[in-house]
């Protein structure tokens, strides 16, 4: 039976995040030839609506309000709840990002419906839609089916490929007036920890450093390699605790969970807490002086050596390949 499914478009620095397009692809499986309706919330978001349609949305509902200029859980909950009440969907799909992880449980509670979080794949099983998600820090996977009520799921970035962009697609764009009031959180000043390059949670390539990087300056070769590969730099908690980098780069059980196409672990021992955040990466390369380091147990390729010798050589060779292309 066809369903109407709402997806939430996430906006960062005036652009749509790639995770927004992945939610559309996920929603297609749930909708079963039904309607995919994208929600865009913010201060001035209508200009982004057509891009959601080009990636597969059938229709876009924009919610524009001064109190949605910056994300707050109160403001977004009020806005999205109004859209849900107006649209009466059979399904909801958000990205499993920092925003989605906070907003989705609040909405599920208000709707009195279940939520399947951190989904890595969706497939049809007869008349049902089956969701797969990791459990026990990624050591196992469980499969879930929602048999009653609204289907609500959050999708881990980089696991479900977006649909191919089609700039000939057209769809209706409407706006919904909402009242955002009684906010318990007011943002007086926004200070961004600006870093050049790719967003860590959506990066296809990640170069991650651990305690073996030894210092803040030790991350510089990692940044250079990331620039060559068009990737992002991450870190273990040990490196963050040591003050080598900002906690915004932390990958692991208490940091970001990432699933890039290529993960290069540099000077990372492989503590279970770190593995929980990256073990589902498609290809893992470990660089460590200790041949007994636990990281080699999950790596597809291992290099036993000093990262300060290996990383510059890799960077040099990759630069040479780019020049030769």
Q: Are residues 112 and 161 in the same domain?
A: yes
Q: Are residues 31 and 164 in the same domain?
A: yes
Q: Are residues 148 and 237 in the same domain?
A: no
Q: Are residues 127 and 266 in the same domain?
A: no
Average pLDDT over residues 279-292: 95
Whose tokens are 């709840």? That residue is: 81
User: Which pLDDT value is given to residue 192?
Assistant: 67
Task: Give phi and psi for 99, each to the nearest 5.
Answer: -65, -50
User: What is the C-alpha to C-alpha distance for residues 251 and 274, in angstroms, rounded to an integer?
Assistant: 6
Number of domains the chain contains: 2
Q: b/e map of 223-247 (b: 16 or more CB within 10 Å)?
A: bbbbbbbebbbbbbbbbbebebbee
User: Which pLDDT value is given to residue 160?
Assistant: 94
Four-residue CA torsion sign, 221, 223, 227, 231: positive
Cβ–Cβ contacts within 10 Å for residue 81, how many? 15
Reply yes or no on whether the pLDDT at 145 is more than 90.
yes
User: What is the C-alpha to C-alpha distance for residues 92 and 94, in angstroms, rounded to an integer?
Assistant: 7
Decide if 188 is inside a domain. no
Cβ–Cβ contacts within 10 Å for residue 297, how many? 12
Reply yes or no on whether the pLDDT at 191 is more than 80.
no
User: What is the C-alpha to C-alpha distance for residues 249 and 122, in angstroms, rounded to an integer?
Assistant: 29
Q: Which stretch of DSSP H or E encloses residue 229?
A: helix 220-229
Domain span holding position 26 = 5-175
Decide if 183 is inside a domain. no
Structure tokens at 36: 């995919």
Give the confidence band of 187 by pLDDT, cuts at 50, 70, 90: confident
User: Which pLDDT value is given to residue 233?
Assistant: 96
Reply yes or no on whether the pLDDT at 195 is more than 60.
no
Q: Are residues 163 and 223 in the same domain?
A: no
CATH number, domain containing residue 132: 3.40.50.620
Average pLDDT over residues 107-115: 94
pTM of the predicted structure, to 2 decimals: 0.85
Give the confidence band of 194 by pLDDT, cuts at 50, 70, 90: low
Task: Give phi and psi for 5, each to the nearest 5.
Answer: -125, 130
Look at residues 297, 322, 278, 245 and name the one whose alpha carbon lies nearest to residue 134: 278
Q: Do the Cβ atoms of 87 and 1 come closer than 8 Å?
A: no
Q: Which residues contact 276 (CB under 8 A, 6 or more apart)?
A: 137, 138, 252, 253, 257
Reply yes or no on whether the pLDDT at 313 is more than 80.
yes
Decide if 187 is inside a domain. no
User: Which pLDDT value is given to residue 184?
Assistant: 84
Decide if 143 is inside a domain. yes
- pLDDT one-digit tens code per residue, 49-84: 999 999 999 999 999 998 898 899 999 999 999 999
Q: Do the Cβ atoms of 17 and 55 come closer than 8 Å?
A: no
Domain boundary among the residues 140, 175, 210 is at 175
Q: Are residues 169 and 263 in the same domain?
A: no
Look at residues 243, 29, 214 and name the one whose alpha carbon lies nearest to residue 121: 29
**Average of per-residue pLDDT values in the chain:** 92
Reply yes or no on whether the pLDDT at 282 is more than 90.
yes
- pLDDT one-digit tens code per residue, 18-40: 999 999 999 999 998 899 999 99
Reply yes or no on whether the pLDDT at 221 is more than 60.
yes
Question: Which residues, listed in sequence order, are joined to residue 19 by a DSSP beta bridge?
Answer: none
Q: Are strands 121-125 and 128-135 parallel, antiparallel or unpaired?
A: antiparallel
Q: Are residues 133 and 208 in the same domain?
A: no
Q: Are residues 27 and 166 in the same domain?
A: yes
Q: Are residues 70 and 141 in the same domain?
A: yes
Average pLDDT over residues 285-295: 97
Average pLDDT over residues 195-218: 88
CATH number, domain containing residue 276: 3.40.50.1220
User: Which pLDDT value is given to residue 197?
Assistant: 57
User: Which pLDDT value is given to residue 324?
Assistant: 47
Reply yes or no on whether the pLDDT at 106 is more than 60.
yes
């Amino acid at each position: 039976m066809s369903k109407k499914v709402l997806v939430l478009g996430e906006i960062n620095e005036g652009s749509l995040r790639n995770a927004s397009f992945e939610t559309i692809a996920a929603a297609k499986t749930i909708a079963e030839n039904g309607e995919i309706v994208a929600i865009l919330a913010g201060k001035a978001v209508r200009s982004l609506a057509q891009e959601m349609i080009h990636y597969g949305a059938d229709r876009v509902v924009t919610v524009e309000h001064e109190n949605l200029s910056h994300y707050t859980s109160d403001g977004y909950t009020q806005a999205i709840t109004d859209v849900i009440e107006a649209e009466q969907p059979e399904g909801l799909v958000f990205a499993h990002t920092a925003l989605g992880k906070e907003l989705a449980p609040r909405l599920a509670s208000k709707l009195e419906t279940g939520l399947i979080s951190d989904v890595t794949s969706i497939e049809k099983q007869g008349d049902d839609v089956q969701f797969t998600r990791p459990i026990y820090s990624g050591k196992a996977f469980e499969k879930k089916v929602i048999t009653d009520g609204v289907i609500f799921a959050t999708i881990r970035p980089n696991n479900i490929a977006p649909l191919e962009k089609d700039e000939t697609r057209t769809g209706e764009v409407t706006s919904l007036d909402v009242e955002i009031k009684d906010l318990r959180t007011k943002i007086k000043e926004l200070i961004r920890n600006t870093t050049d390059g790719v967003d860590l949670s959506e990066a296809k390539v990640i170069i991650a450093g651990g305690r073996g990087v030894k210092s803040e300056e030790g991350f510089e070769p990692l940044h250079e390699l990331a620039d060559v590969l068009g990737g992002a730099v991450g870190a273990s908690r040990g490196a963050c605790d040591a003050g080598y980098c900002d906690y915004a780069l932390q990958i692991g059980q208490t940091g970001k969970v990432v699933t890039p196409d290529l993960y290069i672990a540099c000077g990372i021992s492989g503590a279970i807490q770190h593995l929980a955040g990256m073990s589902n990466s498609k290809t893992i390369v470990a660089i460590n002086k200790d041949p007994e380091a636990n990281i080699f147990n999950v790596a597809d390729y291992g290099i036993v050596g000093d990262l300060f010798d290996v990383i510059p050589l890799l960077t040099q060779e990759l630069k040479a390949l780019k020049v030769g292309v």
